[in-house]
Amino acid sequence: MNFSLPRRALVGACVAGALLTTAVLPASGAAAASPTVPPLDTKALRAAISDLQHPQATAAQLRVSGSAGQWYGTSGKADLRTGQAVRADDRFRIGSITKVFVATTVLQLAAEHRVDLDTPVQHYLPGLLPKDYAPITVGQLLNHTSGLPGATGPGVPDMSTPEDVLKHRDDRWTPERLVAVSTRAPLKFTPGTRQEYRGINYVLAAMLVEKVTGHAYGKEIDARVLRPLGLRNTSVPGDDPKIHGPHVHGYLAMSDGTLKDATDFNQSEAWGEGEMISTTGDLDRFISALFSGKLLPEPALDKMFTLPSPDVRMTDGSPASYSMGLQSVTVNGITFWGKTGERWGYNSAMVSTKDGRRRAEFSFNPTHRDKSQTQMTLRIADALTKKAPGRH
């Protein structure tokens, strides 16, 4: 098992980034309409997060909100050493959900006419990408149609064992270094013609925010999103490896099966695309405000609900599923828009129907970073969308 940077992009896209099952499909076109969501099946929701053996996990929490019903539940321990149970205000690493905050900020700048989504990123960040790269527009970064390759070559840690992962927990990366190791190869396809999920797209998007505003991208997110919405438990940690305040610990299973605490971990390797910390409550407030138009004017928000044209497909041939900042999946006929996230010891999601009638945020703490994580994700997705037995 290879734990290097390219694998992180792969796992984020294929394991956490998509609910991979025949029951879950990308929505097509702009925003596919969903049927009415069923009443909440609290028994199924409880069962979905209570099984901490499939996958092996130390804790889980799930918040369901919206006009179609509300529920919150937890299982497991936030801290195995103290035995502390999970609490509603416990913070956790949200991984690639960070991208929704970055995309919101870029789309705000576009609405302010400070960024043009159809202008190549090379215009804003001259000299950063290889000279032989075709123009890549800002919009193509946001919806993962840039064609950028993955990280390869010298300087990319090959973390092939969990022990190696923890050896690199204090590594510090700069965004420039992340770009450098991710652009050694040619573009994988002509920008705009296909779609492939790549974290480097959002490293560049965050660098764009900094270039245009003159401020750290985390400061812009704080000023534009966190403070206006009162998201006091959400933060952009930068080089700080700790989660401050009440939080859930993340653990990794070592090669001999023992668990090691992986909570303290420098997140600069996920700069701009996966480093943020939050809570289920803050994420719910964020996605509710975003979808209701409190953060973006309607033309900009529409771009978050618009997938590429049908002729643009994922590199594996499946339909495109990423818009500018969000991903769309349909589960049992119910279409959700949102984002999943993954860091070592953490797996999370923030999703909502477009009308906000059903919103859900979850976080669980898998001890293995592999495809087994989808087991809990799929249980939760099924419980959110199926009618309870006996209901018609």
Q: What is the mean pLDDT of the chain?
A: 92
Reported as a single tens digit per residue, the pLDDT across 54-104 is 999 999 999 999 999 999 999 999 999 999 999 999 999 999 999 999 999
Q: What are phi and psi of 247, to 5 degrees?
A: -155, 160
CB 289 within 8 A of CB 104: no
Reported as a single tens digit per residue, the pLDDT across 54-68 is 999 999 999 999 999
Of the chain, the percentage scoring pLDDT greater than 70 comes to 90
Region class of 317: left (phi > 0), else alpha (psi between -120 and 50), else beta: left
CA distance 378 to 392: 23
Query: What pLDDT sits at residue 84?
Result: 98
- Residue 316's identity, in one-letter code, is D
Query: In the predicted model, what is the mean pLDDT of residues 134-139?
Result: 98
CA distance 52 to 37: 27
Query: What pLDDT sits at residue 153?
Result: 85
**Which residues are annotated as catalytic?**
96
Whether the pTM exceeds 0.85: the reply is: yes
CB 328 within 8 A of CB 307: yes
Number of alpha carbons in the 13 Å side-chain half-sphere of residue 374: 15
CA distance 237 to 265: 10
CB 118 within 8 A of CB 149: no
The model's confidence at residue 391, banded by pLDDT at 50, 70 and 90, is: low
Query: In the predicted model, what is the mean pLDDT of residues 273-282?
Result: 98
Reported as a single tens digit per residue, the pLDDT across 194-226 is 999 999 999 999 999 999 999 999 999 999 999
**CA trace torsion 336, 346, 73, 246 (10° rounding):** -130
Q: What are phi and psi of 244, to 5 degrees?
A: -90, 150
Reported as a single tens digit per residue, the pLDDT across 15-56 is 334 443 334 444 444 444 456 899 999 999 999 999 999 999
Longest distance between any two alpha carbons in the chain, whole Å: 63
CA distance 338 to 384: 14
CB 70 within 8 A of CB 284: no
Query: What pLDDT sits at residue 390?
Result: 66
SS (H, E, C) the chain: CCCCHHHHHHHHHHHHCCCCECCEECCCCCCCCCCCCCCCCHHHHHHHHHCCECCEEEEEEEEEECCCCCEEEEEEEEECCCCEECCCCCEEECHHHHHHHHHHHHHHHHHCCCCCCCCEHHHHCCCCCCCCCCCCEHHHHHCCCCCCCCCCCCCCCCCCCHHHHHHCCCCCCCHHHHHHHHCCCCCCCCCCCEECCCCHHHHHHHHHHHHHHCCCHHHHHHHHHHHHHCCCCCECCCCCCCCCCCECCCEEECCCCCEEECCCCCCHHHCCCCCCEECHHHHHHHHHHHHCCCCCCHHHHHHHCCCCCCCCEECCCCECCECCCCEEEEECCEEEEEEEEEECCEEEEEEECCCCCCEEEEEEEECCCCHHHHHHHHHHHHHHHCCCCCCC
CA distance 279 to 354: 21
Query: What pLDDT sits at residue 389?
Result: 80
- Looking at domain 5-385, its CATH class is alpha beta
Reported as a single tens digit per residue, the pLDDT across 329-355 is 999 999 999 999 999 999 999 999 999
Sequence ranges of the domains in the chain: 5-385
Query: In the predicted model, what is the mean pLDDT of residues 240-268?
Result: 98
Q: Pairing between strand 84-85 and 92-93?
A: unpaired
CA distance 64 to 43: 13
